[in-house]
Structure 1
Amino acid sequence: MILVTGAGGNVGSELTGILTRDGHPVRALVRTPRPLPDGVEGVAGDLNEPASLKPALAGVRAVFLLGGYDDLPGALAVMRDEGVEQVTLLSSRSVVGGHSGNAVAGMHRAAEASVRASELAWTFLRASGFMSNTLRWIPGLRAGDVVREPFAEVPVATIDPYDIAAVAAESLTTPGHEGRAYALTGPEALLPADRLRVLGELLGRDLRLEPLPDTEGEFDDSEVTSTVQDLTGQAPRPFATWARTHLAAFR
């Protein structure tokens, strides 16, 4: 049994789909009852309350884990005590090159440190910026054809959450990934204006980017890696594919 935390999120929802498609038993950790895909068992629990995890961990061998919780060491201790053998943690490339004062990078560094100290076998998925972050543009696009975005001159090798999930599935179901930290990116580094151009072409709209001031230095998230293809055998999806799949959300 594989337990997926954040099963309703961008990566977790894709991961539950991949695992069930491939015939793996999947359980979703949920705070409250919610509809789940066929074949996915939902069990209540809260990572902020480690003792509440015990029912969800019955028979679980591996966990897909998100960071940022109040007592992650406590949650990991419960997982270990309940017989979990392996954890795949969704992390960020910012743990390596991120600004020392950046709260997001600090959260991911703390999560990695907690997992390392847990004595569980671990894999870290250090992902680039998500293509799904583009959904933040929807309110602006409902109001007009201008998108306001900081770091307008910063290229990012954004990645489709599906590709992160595909690597997560590999790490959770095949051997040889223990103690590995994988840097995951999409196939190319794009500026916000590049993504907006692709989206505008698909929507048939003349969209324009208006840069906002940069509030702090950004780490270099432009390097493209081959990790997704190396591990899954499939090239990572380009932004146009992600945008086409989610186009209805922008109409």
Structure 2
Amino acid sequence: MTVVIAGATGNVGSEVLRAVLAAGGKARGLVRAEKQLPEGAEVAIGDLNDPASLADAFQGATAAFLLSGYADMTGLLAAVQRAGLERVVLLSGGSAELGDLSNAVSAYMVRSEVAVRESGVPFTILRPSMFMTNTLDWLPQLRESDVVRAAFPDVAAAVLDPADIGAVAATALLNTGHENRTYRLTGPEALTPADRVRILAGILGRDLRFEGLSNEAARAQMTAAMPVEYVDAFFSFYVDGTLDESPVLPTVTDILGRPPRTFREWAQTHAASFS
């Protein structure tokens, strides 16, 4: 089975690619320009914002892993259907469940899910909780000092290892039984930013300290890094409390037959990145 994987060099897509290869599938990483992929993976050139560019990438493939939010999701799914792919796995997010089209983040996920559901192609939609890899955003601070300052200090989330998302996606891409389902994926425990700093400190052997940013400081910092409509979306989630990512669900265990990895396990694996 040949699986086309969007975002093949990203946090999740790279894990999907590795999981497909590990399971004995053929992984075809979809990239806009020639890039080095893990041994055994094919490279396909195409732009998901331009469905007409994808005919060669989809040729002979069985399934595709897609991300949400491309310019023409309906056209993209039409290209998938024309190519005769048997199934699609879409990476969405928990906020899609809110159905709030006034929220910029929720809106692009909702519209992407609608395009997938209406395409006629068998699908699996994944709605993961916050990624453990978001912790890597702290790297510049940790290179400068032992203090981590972050937004939304009181928000707990059942953070999830992207490797577990990749394993679930590979299972749905390579096997039947997951068609036309939506899976909410979480990690094994709800952690605040301070909890993650504490765990990371123990692994790194450093006396790390956490300081929560005020909402005003967080908004200023985020506005410098992303469009204001996205900043408003995250404030809706985590200040207004419209999105709760703290519940721990058994979905990963049910699908993989093992529990999701803990943050401690993730941090131990990635400790070298923080040194």
Both proteins in one fold, TM over 0.5 = yes
Deviation of 1:100 after TM superposition, in Å, equals 5.9
Deviations 1:8-27 (A, max 9, x none): 11111111111112211111
Deviations 1:136-190 (A, max 9, x none): 0001111111111111011000000011111101111111111110010000000
> Residue 259 of structure 2 aligns with which residue?
235
* In the alignment, structure 1 residue 46 sits paired with structure 2 residue 47: yes
Contact 1:10–1:132 at 8 Å: present in 2 too?
yes
> Residue 26 of structure 2 aligns with which residue?
25
> Residue 145 of structure 1 aligns with which residue?
146
With over 3 angstroms needed to count, the CA separation of the structure-2 counterparts of 1:200 and 1:99, relative to structure 1, is farther
> Residue 182 of structure 1 aligns with which residue?
183
2:214 & 2:109 partners in 1: Cα distance?
25
* In the alignment, structure 1 residue 107 sits paired with structure 2 residue 131: no
Unaligned runs of 5+ in 1: none
Deviations 1:35-63 (A, max 9, x none): 11111000100001111001100111110
Q: Structure 1: which amino acid aligns with 2:157?
A: V
> Residue 221 of structure 1 aligns with which residue?
245
User: In angstroms, what is the RMSD of aligned CA positions?
Assistant: 1.3
Equivalenced residue count is 251
Contact 1:97–1:220 at 8 Å: present in 2 too?
no
Deviation of 1:104 after TM superposition, in Å, equals 1.6
Matches within 5 A, 1:114-153: 114-153=115-154
Structure 1 length as normaliser, TM-score?
0.96
Deviations 1:166-220 (A, max 9, x none): 1101111111111110010000000100000011111111111111133523211
> Residue 86 of structure 2 aligns with which residue?
85
1:84 & 1:16 partners in 2: Cα distance?
17
Matches within 5 A, 1:173-212: 173-212=174-213
Unaligned runs of 5+ in 2: 220-234
Deviation of 1:96 after TM superposition, in Å, equals 1.7
Structure 2 length as normaliser, TM-score?
0.88
* In the alignment, structure 1 residue 59 sits paired with structure 2 residue 83: no
With over 3 angstroms needed to count, the CA separation of the structure-2 counterparts of 1:99 and 1:137, relative to structure 1, is farther
1:146 & 1:201 partners in 2: Cα distance?
14
Q: Structure 1: which amino acid aligns with 2:89?
A: T
2:116 & 2:23 partners in 1: Cα distance?
27
Q: Structure 2: which amino acid aligns with 1:183?
A: R
